[in-house]
């Protein structure tokens, strides 16, 4: 039997080159080997205030971007998280098997609390529990994510192991799959911070036009050393090298040789070119897909049906084990 992978992105903004290189691009490499499930994580996205109309539009746009990136609906299941009630239901149960001490250690909670100091809500705090429910419902073996999600994967594993040891084998304990390059793409304006949907100035969006991409990469913060080499502490250059290598599949050594004796101007131009070439077909496909809303709606209907079937089974097993009348 094929192993299962599960992953998802929040419809919390325009998806970035970071999301693409750290997550989506890796997912496409796994389609033929695994039973693949990719969801649009709308429940997670309301941990930060969203405009309802925009959120609804973004959820469908995100699905279109999944497919445009190569996540063929013939080969994987796509659904919207809120269409499968078992996510919220299992999340409640798992919350009773998660310690506040564990949640207190989550760096994403600390970061987001600082960024949204006027809205430090309980959902933001229990976010990792819902994420564990997402994964464990489908007994996912592997969860491909960017580096920033490593800690959340660890807590999901701990919750699964704790539940299994109390009630017998119930959940598959998931392994993270974090790419070697591209797992942590940094902000172009402040390369000490990760590129994020919520910081458009230093991010490249998947749907950005060619001129803007070129301009943003040309303006990327670097240093005054003037040579292209991956070295400790050279955040700007290291980031551009990661982007270049992750897009082209070349090793850092190869890229360094290629740009030996060349200045930052040439290097940045080359980075922009490979990014533009990579995104062009994705954008073309996206523009076609987004015109066909009926097709997209059909995919999420079918996806929700399949996902509900699997999720209900797991939830029933859990309800029985904890002592509910089912
Ligand atoms: P937000 O800014 O709303 O928190 P985000 O940009 O961090 O969103 P998520 O939806 O939280 O995006 O993440 C989707 C996937 O993209 C996850 O697997 C995450 O690890 C990955 N990812 C996010 N940012 C980066 C980045 N800068 N580099 C590599 N991978 C990333
Ligand atoms: N928290 C993730 C999005 C997410 C996710 C998941 C990823 C929610 N549930 C389950 C993998 C598996 C993020 O990228 N911020």
Cα(178)–Cα(154) distance, integer angstroms:
13
CATH of domain 4-176+293-322: 3.40.50.620
Interval between CA 5 and ligand 1 midpoint (Å): 18
Asked if pLDDT for residue 306 goes beyond 90, the answer is: yes
Query: What is the pLDDT, as a whole number, of residue 1?
Result: 86
Pocket flag, ligand 1, residue 206 (CB < 6 Å): no
Q: Please give the number of the atom of ligand 1 that sits closest to the Cα of 8.
A: 14
Q: Considering the candidates 194, 269, 316, 321, report the single residue annotated as catalytic.
A: 194
Interval between CA 10 and ligand 1 midpoint (Å): 8
Q: Residue whose CA is closest, atom 25 of ligand 1?
A: 18
Asked if pLDDT for residue 42 goes beyond 90, the answer is: yes
Asked if pLDDT for residue 205 goes beyond 90, the answer is: yes
Q: For the segment 132-160, what is each residue's pLDDT rounded down to a tens digit?
A: 999 999 999 999 999 999 999 999 999 99
The ligand whose atoms approach the alpha carbon of 66 most closely is 1
Pocket flag, ligand 1, residue 69 (CB < 6 Å): no
Query: What is the pLDDT, as a whole number, of residue 106?
Result: 96
Q: Are 81 and 87 in contact (CB under 8 A)?
A: yes
Q: Which of 210, 279, 202, 199 is nearest to 240 (CA)?
A: 202
281 — pLDDT class (breaks 50, 70, 90): very high
Mean pLDDT of 214-238: 97
B/e letters for 81-95, b = 16+ CB within 10 Å, e = fewer, are: bbbbebbebbbebbe
Pocket flag, ligand 1, residue 318 (CB < 6 Å): no
Annotation marks residue 194 as catalytic = yes
Q: Considering the candidates 3, 29, 53, 112, report the single residue annotated as catalytic.
A: 112
Q: For the segment 44-73, what is each residue's pLDDT rounded down to a tens digit?
A: 999 999 999 999 999 999 999 999 999 999
Least confident of 155-159, 166-170, 182-186: 182-186
Mean pLDDT of 173-194: 94
Interval between CA 196 and ligand 1 midpoint (Å): 6
Q: For the segment 90-104, what is each residue's pLDDT rounded down to a tens digit?
A: 999 999 999 999 999
Q: Please give the number of the atom of ligand 2 that sits closest to the Cα of 131.
A: 9
274 — pLDDT class (breaks 50, 70, 90): very high
Asked if pLDDT for residue 180 goes beyond 90, the answer is: no
Q: Are 267 and 234 in contact (CB under 8 A)?
A: no
Q: Which residue has the higher pLDDT, 183 or 175?
A: 175
| Domain 200-287 in CATH 3.90.1150.10 | no
Cα(18)–Cα(16) distance, integer angstroms:
5
Mean pLDDT of 20-41: 96
Annotation marks residue 29 as catalytic = no
For the chain, the structural domain boundaries read 4-176+293-322, 200-287
Interval between CA 34 and ligand 1 midpoint (Å): 22
Long-range contacts of 153-156 (CB under 8 A, 24+ apart): 155/98, 155/102, 155/103, 155/106, 155/128, 156/128, 156/131, 156/132
Site to substitute for ligand 2 among 11, 47, 152, most atoms within 8 A of C-beta:
152
Query: What is the pLDDT, as a whole number, of residue 181?
Result: 84
198 — pLDDT class (breaks 50, 70, 90): confident
Query: What is the pLDDT, as a whole number, of residue 199?
Result: 86
Threshold 0.85, pTM exceeds: yes
């Amino acid at each position: 039997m094929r192993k299962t992978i599960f992953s998802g992105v929040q419809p919390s903004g325009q998806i970035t080159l970071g999301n693409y290189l750290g997550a989506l691009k890796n997912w496409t490499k796994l389609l033929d080997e695994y039973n693949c499930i990719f969801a649009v994580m709308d429940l997670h996205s309301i941990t930060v205030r969203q405009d309802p109309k925009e959120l609804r539009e973004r959820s469908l746009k995100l699905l279109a971007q999944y497919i445009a990136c190569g996540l063929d609906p013939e080969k994987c299941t796509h659904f919207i998280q809120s269409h499968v009630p078992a996510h919220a239901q299992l999340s409640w149960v798992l919350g009773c098997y998660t310690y506040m001490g564990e949640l207190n250690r989550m760096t994403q909670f600390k970061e987001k609390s600082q960024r949204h100091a006027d809205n430090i809500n309980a959902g933001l705090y229990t976010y990792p529990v819902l994420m564990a429910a997402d994964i464990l419902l489908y007994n996912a073996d592997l969860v491909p994510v960017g580096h920033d999600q490593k800690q959340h994967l660890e807590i999901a594993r701990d919750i699964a192991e704790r539940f299994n040891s109390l009630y017998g084998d119930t959940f598959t304990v998931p392994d993270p799959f974090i790419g070697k390059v591209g797992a942590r793409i940094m902000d172009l304006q402040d390369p000490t911070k990760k590129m994020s949907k919520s910081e458009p100035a230093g991010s490249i969006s998947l749907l950005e036009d060619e001129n803007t991409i070129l301009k943003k990469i040309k303006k990327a913060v670097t240093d005054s050393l003037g040579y292209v080499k991956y070295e400790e502490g050279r955040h700007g250059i290291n980031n551009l090298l990661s982007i270049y290598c992750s897009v082209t599949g070349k090793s850092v050594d190869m890229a360094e040789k290629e740009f030996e004796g060349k200045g930052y101007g040439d290097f940045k131009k080359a980075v922009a070119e490979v990014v533009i070439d990579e995104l062009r077909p994705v954008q073309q496909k996206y523009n076609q897909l987004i015109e066909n809303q009926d097709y997209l709606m059909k995919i999420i209907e079918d996806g929700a049906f399949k996902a509900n079937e699997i999720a209900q089974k797991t939830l029933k097993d859990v309800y029985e084990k904890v002592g509910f009348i089912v």
